């Protein structure tokens, strides 16, 4: 079942796509496995895989395989990443972006 576009920023095809982009673009020095993303966003791994494939095909994300795991991160070489990151920061906020450590949010709940 496809989720609807997020109300805050309806340019994304789904809430999951926006969540994945926020997690990766707002934390550009971090790299996450598809399994970590699926667990974090309570989504089936196959759905996360499909969203990540679309984002890597668009060169917004970089993917590398490590053994049986696929790792993804933001692609800073794509000229669309910077303005997209700013849109995500304004609409999602830094704390919604899910850093591995919640220190950046200093006690605020990370949803």
Of residues 17, 14, 12, 30, the one with CA closest to residue 72: 30
Q: How far apart are CA 2 and CA 74, in angstroms?
A: 24
**In the predicted structure, residue 47 carries a pLDDT above the cut 60:** yes
Total count of domains within the chain: 1
Query: Is the pLDDT confidence value at 5 over 50?
Result: no
- Structural domain includes residue 50: yes
Q: What is the CATH number of the domain that holds 87?
A: 1.10.10.10
- 49-76 pLDDT per residue, tens: 999 999 999 999 999 999 999 999 999 9
pLDDT at 2: 56
pLDDT at 13: 82
* Helix-helix angle 45-57:15-25, to 10 degrees: 60
* 7 located within any domain: no
Q: What is the pTM of this model?
A: 0.78
Residue 10 lies in a domain: no
Beta strands in the chain (DSSP E): 32-33, 61-66, 69-74
Cβ–Cβ contacts within 10 Å for residue 27, how many?
Answer: 18
Q: What's the domain range around 76?
A: 15-105
Residue 111, H or E segment: none
pLDDT at 4: 59
User: Each residue of 71-111: pLDDT tens digit?
Assistant: 999 999 999 999 999 998 888 777 655 555 443 442 333 44
Please indicate, yes or no, if residue 70 is contained in any of the structural domains: yes
Q: Are strands 32-33 and 61-66 parallel, antiparallel or unpaired?
A: unpaired
């Amino acid at each position: 079942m496809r989720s609807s576009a997020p109300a805050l920023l309806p340019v994304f095809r789904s809430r999951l796509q926006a969540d994945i982009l926020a997690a990766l673009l707002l934390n550009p020095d971090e790299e996450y496995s598809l399994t970590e993303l699926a667990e974090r966003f309570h989504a089936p791994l196959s759905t996360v895989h499909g969203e990540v494939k679309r984002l890597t095909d668009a060169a917004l994300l970089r993917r590398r395989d490590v053994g049986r795991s696929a790792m993804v991160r933001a692609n800073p070489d794509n000229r669309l990443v910077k303005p997209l990151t700013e849109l995500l920061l304004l609409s999602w906020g830094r704390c919604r972006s899910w850093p591995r450590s919640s220190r950046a949010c200093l006690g605020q709940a990370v949803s």
